[in-house]
Amino acid sequence: MNNEKILILDFGGHFSQFVARKVRECSVYCEVEPSSFSVEDIKNFNPKGIILVGGQNSTLQLPDEELVNLGYPILGICHGAKILKEYSNTNLYYIDELPSILDEKLGSDKLFYFIFNVCKCTGDWKIKDFIDLTITSIKEKVKNGKVLCALSGGVDSSVSAVLLSKAIGKQLTCVFVDHGLLRKNEAEEVENVFGKSGEYDLNFIKVDARQRFYNKLKGITDPEQKRKIIGEEFIRVFEEEAKKIGAVDFLVQGTIYPDIIESGLGKEGVIKSHHNVGGLPSVVDFKEIIEPLKLLFKDEVRKVGLELGIPEHLVYRQPFPGPGLGVRIIGDITEQKVKIVQDADYIYREEIEKAGLNKQFSQYFAALTNLKSVGVKNGKRTYDSAIALRAIITTDFMNAKCGFIPFELLEVIVNRIINEVEGVNRVLFDYTPKPPATIEFE
């Protein structure tokens, strides 16, 4: 890569990812490495400048004197500034405040000054260049090989699949498993984009495994057991399909940069454990993993998706858990319960989108509680289920606050759900932040 690069050295305290996002927002490419990154590695990386980042609780650790005297401009942020002040050198700059100051004018001015005036970057990190470069490198790597991709319909796997398809066309096979716990119409939507009627050049295989999953999940109420069954069954289905295809050379993994930063800096090929079907690669015969998005942040993945012409509804799809509606139905799962939660969720999403509120929330969905209660409909007593609605706002999904939905809109949603969804006689709104409540109900 010939782009101008900034190197971010992480001295602990969980802020490096945030700072890296801020640098990338300036259209300047950067990478995060641990503070132990060697002087030799730094020279090879050839940055225009270096940023040392440490949070308040990071351990004091002086950078190598050699690093300070290498001649690169260095900016110390927060604890990074404290560390740097041990040295006197004209090429050193400081932001003493917490990295969150970069969200304010004072902080961003200081960062801009460092990047553009001191390091003399021009801002040459463009999404289009990334796409061209990635396609070229995939072609060089794959040559005539076969590539297999587990397509979930989520942003990361969709964008990965399209990049691969542009590079190697029919050498790519995408397997999409319908586990029966997807949102309403979701399987059709994915098939419309990636299947025969879609515009992409690839082999698309949709596996309808709905009954298989329902059978395995029958009577299971424990959340972790449900997750385990869904994960294992998914691997089994995928494995069976992979066997039909035969040996492949590469397996696609939709890893993105935060996964790499979070799961141990510098170690490549880390497999997403929480978001993906962990362990998948070991059951499929392949030589190597391809991770085309491993250097991108989520919003950059979305930009790549839009640039590649992927429909907006897929690019801006909200996060959806791997076990799907399985963790949005409290207690045991039945086909009928899946239908209830699908229909209620569909109405909720439709009304939120109609009101133009969809981009205000990080995630919003309906869940089916295990509460049955007495109600009355058309003069008759009912004993039906309660649907819970949730809308949250978050950046890291570790903490989340609740989003505000105007009361009039809630009234419309509630009325539609109780009138249109059979088996529901009560709608509740969950206004609990995380913590203490998790985002999902199970």
Contact residues toward ligand XMP (CB under 6 A) are: 227, 274-275, 319, 321-323, 327, 363, 397, 434, 438-440
Q: In what order do the strands lie in the sheet with 74-78?
A: 29-34, 5-10, 49-54, 74-78, 92-95
The residue among 76 and 323 lying less far from ligand XMP, judged by its C-beta, is 323
Comparing CB distances to ligand XMP, the nearer of 10 and 259 is 259
Cβ 362 to ligand XMP, closest distance in Å? 8
Q: Which two tokens stand for residue 355?
A: 């009101």
Least distance (Å) between residue 327 CB and ligand XMP: 6
Which residue, 129 or 440, is less far from ligand XMP as judged by CB? 440
Q: Which residues partner with 174 through β-bridges?
A: 149, 204
Pairwise CA distance, residues 419 & 269, whole Å: 49
Question: Contact 43/2 with Cβ under 8 angstroms?
Answer: no
Q: Which is nearer to ligand XMP, 293 or 439 (CB)?
A: 439
Beta strand 380-393 with 401-402 is antiparallel
Nearest approach, Cβ of residue 385 and ligand XMP (Å): 21
CB of 437 to ligand XMP, least distance (A): 8
- Residues in a beta bridge with 368: 329, 387
Q: In this structure, what DSSP letter does residue 57 have? A: T
Containing H/E element for 58?
none
Q: What angle do CA 7, 9, 10 make, to 5 degrees?
A: 145
Shortest distance in whole angstroms from residue 123 CB to ligand XMP: 32
Cα distance between the two ends of the chain = 43
Least distance between ligand XMP and beta carbon 230 (Å): 8
Q: What residues does 191 pair with on adjacent strands? A: none
Is residue 289 helix, strand or coil? Answer: strand
Dist CA 41 CA 45 (whole Å): 6
Type of residue found at 234: F
Q: How far is CA 202 from the centre of its chain?
A: 23
Q: Which of 256, 278, 434, 255 is nearest to 362 (CA)?
A: 434
Query: Do the beta carbons of residue 206 and residue 178 sit within 8 Å?
Result: yes
Encoded amino acid at 256, one letter: I
Least Cβ distance, residue 365 to ligand XMP (angstroms):
8
d(CA 162, CA 434) in angstroms, rounded, equals 34
Whole-number minimum distance, CB 57 to ligand XMP, in Å? 23
Helix (H) or strand (E) holding 111: helix 105-112
* Min separation Cβ 86 and ligand XMP, Å: 40
301 or 439: whose CB is closer to ligand XMP? 439
Integer Cα distance of 398 and 395 in angstroms: 8
State in angstroms the smallest separation of the CB of 233 from ligand XMP.
Answer: 14
